[in-house]
Amino acid sequence: MRLPQLQRRRRFAAFLSLIAVGAVATFADFNDFNALFAAENSTQPVQNAQSAEKPGYAIVASSWVLDDADWTKVVEALKAKHSEKFNVVVIRNDEKMFGKLRAVFPKYACFVVKPEEASKANLAAIWQTTRALDDDPYGDVIWGIITGFNADDALRMARVEDRPTVKAAGGTAINLDLFEEGVCYDEGAKNRRRVKKPGSPMEVLEDAPDDTTRAVAESLDGAQLFVTSGHATQRNWQIGYNYKNGYFVSKNGQLYGKPSTGEEPFAINASGSKIYLASGNCLIGDIDGPNAMALAYFHSCNVDQMVGYVVPTWFGFMGWGTQGYYLGQPGRFTVAEAFFANNQALLSLLVRIEKGELKVPTQFLRGLLYDRDVYVLYGDPAWRNALAEQESGWAQTLKSEKTEDGRTLWTFTVEPKNGAETFNFDASKGSEYNNRPFVQLFPNRVADPQIVSGAEFNPVVVDNFILVPQSEKSTTGEAFTIQVSTR
């Protein structure tokens, strides 16, 4: 099976994505691909609005948002929060949107949408748009979507303050030793839970109740991170994967617990700003109406950032891989950066397959193409919410120095801490999918990147990141370095 040319006209690629998700765009600006690709094929040069001191931050919103007094507050809150660190630009989502976004070429793009605009088709269009700002096949901006059951939810998401993530809860097994405290219930093993108390190591216990609906609901209160897997739809999450347990269900912006014991459903209201990683769930990121699960998490559980699938999941590359970058490399990435890095890992595989450098089974290729544009991030993409800094399996550094020719020499180094054993990951501790490429984001966009040394490691170097595949050469247990010259 031959992979279609990745550099083929992006209008066709975007059109295929819309067909693949089986939906029709709901607002005109993302439907107007004629205008989008007229801008792309323009002979006008790209004008980068970022300065060395301030990267760009674009807020993209439709007239429906910008002309609504309540929803405009969300845009204004983002401007107020980010203007000190970023060159903030507001772009009206009309037929000129793509050209303006391409001219700004920001580091971050936040799409503020009403829930009716948060369709699968529009998600695919955002993926395609944010890869089309230059000629390489990789992502050009770190992006997110801010929405809510109502404008107040979206406003809270816009105003959320930076903080480390130190308290976790889950309906699936994660490594709680990464946090100060937490509890998670195993969807695959009845009565099993993991507990982490401050100052003590994680314990694996077999004392959880047969039905954990209320226990999981209570663990949400005050948690900063919630992680789930198992069966789900736009209306429910099945708490037990292979044993009888209860459900979380949603209606009209409210999350409810529905125990398997016959007890009446109870409302779930959780305090404290939190992140939700729906790493292994089908459909839970799909906002298909006011009763959607995602909207209930935003409205009644103070979820300020969420990643999840908008389609049934079977391949799992985007879901588990995003979790792998975020939890498997603690303190290195925010959720949005992990989401972005993992998609670049996926795209790098597609490029290598297309070039004939990598041979994979047809089903694996189908999975990559399936996952590419169907995973969503809700929330402010510039929110700093990485885990507390702690020792990872390897040190990863990026240093820069000016050279005599006026260019900048970047030195990217990966130094394993435990020799070759560094890369023998322990899945029992929640480190699945940590065989992803090493990814290093540039602090600001660079121009004309040229590899000076380290080409034998097959690095991908573009204007916003360095990516190095894990291979026999890069995982020997010895430190390695990639040097890149830019202007």
Helix (H, G, I), strand (E, B) or coil at 225: strand
Q: CA 93, CA 296: separation in Å to the nearest integer?
A: 26
pLDDT value, residue 473: 94
Domains 10-159 and 167-378 agree in fold: yes
pLDDT value, residue 425: 65
Give the β-pairing of 56-61 and 408-416: unpaired
Half-sphere exposure (Cβ direction) of 187: Cα atoms closer than 13 Å: 22
pLDDT value, residue 423: 83
Closest Cα to residue 145, out of 48, 226, 78, 82? 78
Residues 6+ apart with CB under 8 A from 219: 169, 170, 183, 184, 185
pLDDT value, residue 290: 98
- Kindly report whether the global pTM for this prediction surpasses the value 0.85: yes
Structure tokens at 350: 């597609």
- CATH number 3.40.50 is the correct assignment for the domain at 10-159: yes
pLDDT tens, N- to C-terminus, the chain (487 residues): 333 333 332 332 333 333 233 333 333 333 333 333 333 333 333 344 444 579 999 999 999 999 999 999 999 999 999 999 999 999 999 999 999 999 999 999 999 999 999 999 999 999 999 999 999 999 999 999 999 999 999 999 999 999 999 999 999 999 999 999 999 999 999 999 999 999 999 999 999 999 999 999 999 999 999 999 999 999 999 999 999 999 999 999 999 999 999 999 999 999 999 999 999 999 999 999 999 999 999 999 999 999 999 999 999 999 999 999 999 999 999 999 999 999 999 999 999 999 999 999 999 999 999 999 999 999 999 999 999 999 888 999 999 999 999 999 999 999 999 898 888 765 444 444 568 999 999 999 999 999 999 999 999 999 999 999 999 999 999 999 999 999 9
Q: How many CB atoms lie within 10 A of CB 448?
A: 9
- CATH number 3.40.50 is the correct assignment for the domain at 167-378: yes
Closest Cα to residue 174, out of 101, 105, 228? 228
The architecture CATH gives domain 394-486? Sandwich (2.60)
Contact 139, 131 (CB under 8 A): yes
Read off φ and ψ for residue 73, nearest 5 degrees.
Answer: -60, -30
pLDDT value, residue 429: 46
Task: Tell the residue number behind the tokens 């109870």, with chain if given.
Answer: 266
CA max distance for the chain:
75
Q: CA 303, CA 293: separation in Å to the nearest integer?
A: 11
Q: CA 284, CA 423: separation in Å to the nearest integer?
A: 32
CA 149 to the chain's CA centroid: 21
Q: CA 290, CA 442: separation in Å to the nearest integer?
A: 39
CA 337 to the chain's CA centroid: 7
Read off φ and ψ for residue 203, nearest 5 degrees.
Answer: -115, 145
Using a 10 angstrom Cβ sphere, with 0-12 exposed, 13-18 middle and 19 or more buried, the burial of residue 203 is: exposed
Helix (H, G, I), strand (E, B) or coil at 257: strand
- DSSP structure class, residue 428: G
Q: Where are the domains of the chain?
A: 10-159, 167-378, 394-486
